[in-house]
Amino acid sequence: MERDSKDEFIKALEAHYGHWEDNTSRFGNASFGRIAKELCISPSQFSKLIYGNATAGMYSRTIRNIDRLATTKELQSKRDQHREKLLALQGTMSGSSSKLKRYLAAIIALLILSVTLAILLFSSQPQETNPWADKSLHPLTPFFDRQFNADFHSPYLPASRVQDYCPCSAFEGKWSLDEPYKLPLPANRKPGIYYLARDAEVRMKCFKSDTSTLGRGRVLIAFEYLTNEIWVDTRQEPLSPTYFNKETKSFTPEFEELEFENNEHFRRVATIHSFFIDRFLIYPDSIVRKGEPVGRYATDVNEDLIKAYEINLKHVLDNVLGDLTQTNCESTRNPFCDPNDLTPGESVISFDCLYTISNENLGIGGGYPYRKGYRLEEQNYSDNLTCNCSNAYTQ
């Protein structure tokens, strides 16, 4: 359970850094930023871990890194103690024979060398939460997320071009999934299979090449990395009428309030990693999203549940979730006609969508409704942009 993983994560941090001071966002004397840096993870991932929004895999990998860091620091302390003993010994043995001095110094030096080699062994082990290697982070991190003065070519617009590509230049940066959402997954042998969109890391940038229909600065391209989960209801209870009202074609309050991880009848089958390329078309009064899947794969698969509940995971990946990527999402109102209104941590773009299977209606005369929202986390360019509602869409 994620709640247990979060508690274990907090305990590991407190054991290594000190008591969690929630009011000051510190563990002992260590700030969240310092801890994230020492664990080789991004601040956004640390926030997900600390507030219970990370996956079980993210928790286990980070806890292992905390233990590895603690072991390394303990070895470093022992090495320093041996070095001090060597220096003290050299000072107190001024009258001893040179042969005895060399003998004792060699023993302590050997201890120092042994501890140093142990430190190197631990520190050289792969850091699974390193942002260049960890699959829980965005795969394009090395291309997008470096310091502005690093030796790389950023995909984002340079400051000299942001006014030329307004308003889309204001949308460039890191976005995340605003809220998790869940859906039933039909077309299985038996009922009770569900999908939970847990998390998404998104990088948006202006699509400079697409100016044929809308004009410059009106098209965003996004690279969306999603972490999803497949859950099974061990009772295999039919969706209707408990969780879905066929007459109103809407989910019941019981479904809206359902938390899989806190319900004894639900078990997680697998974690699904998906990647999308999106296009966002920016109009004065609306935003249109068009997404195309790149691929998906499963990890942390519970083979016992697969067998016990006759779940064809490959069918779910290829067909059921494949249909989910073709869902119909309506255009949404553009609340940022003036792009200067975009605010990191607050601004959200949400789309109302309808999930169906290909051209069929799931036997309910419609589809399953859900909402997918994107929250702006970090903005590439946040200084004043000269375009606004009166002139941003006349290029």
d(CA 313, CA 269): 9
CA torsion angle 173 382 45 72 (round to 10):
110
Quick: pLDDT tens for 364-383: 777 889 999 999 999 999 88
Tokens of 316: 């779910």
Confidence of residue 94 (pLDDT cuts 50, 70, 90): low
Residue 40's pLDDT is: 76
Banded model confidence at residue 204, pLDDT cuts 50, 70, 90: very high
Q: What is the pLDDT of residue 351?
A: 93
- Taking only the tens place, the pLDDT of each residue in 26-36 is 888 887 778 88
Q: In the predicted model, what is the mean pLDDT of residues 130-159?
A: 73
**Is 350 or 327 the better-scoring residue by pLDDT?**
350
The pLDDT of residue 288? 93
Q: How confident is the model at residue 223 (pLDDT cuts 50, 70, 90)?
A: very high
First to last CA, the chain: 52
What is the sign, positive or negative, of the torsion defined by CA atoms of 69, 73, 78, 83? positive
Q: What is the mean pLDDT of the chain?
A: 79
Tell whether the model's pLDDT for residue 134 goes beyond 50. Answer: no
pLDDT score recorded for residue 221: 94
Q: Provide φ and ψ at 146, rounded to 5°.
A: -125, 165
- pTM of structure: 0.67
User: Across residues 147-167, what is the average pLDDT?
Assistant: 87
Region 14-20: what's the mean pLDDT?
86
pLDDT band for position 98 (50/70/90)? low
Predicted pLDDT at 215: 78
What is the reported pLDDT for 294?
86
Give the separation between CA 106 and CA 264, rounded to whole angstroms.
Answer: 61
pLDDT at residue 127 above 50?
Answer: no
pLDDT of residue 322: 62
Q: For strands 219-233 and 193-206, give the pairing.
A: antiparallel
Most confident of 41-45, 290-294, 364-368: 290-294
- Is the distance from CB of 114 to CB of 25 less than 8 angstroms? no
| Most confident among 43-52, 92-101, 168-177 (mean pLDDT) | 168-177
102 or 379, which is more confident: 379
Average pLDDT over residues 261-277: 90
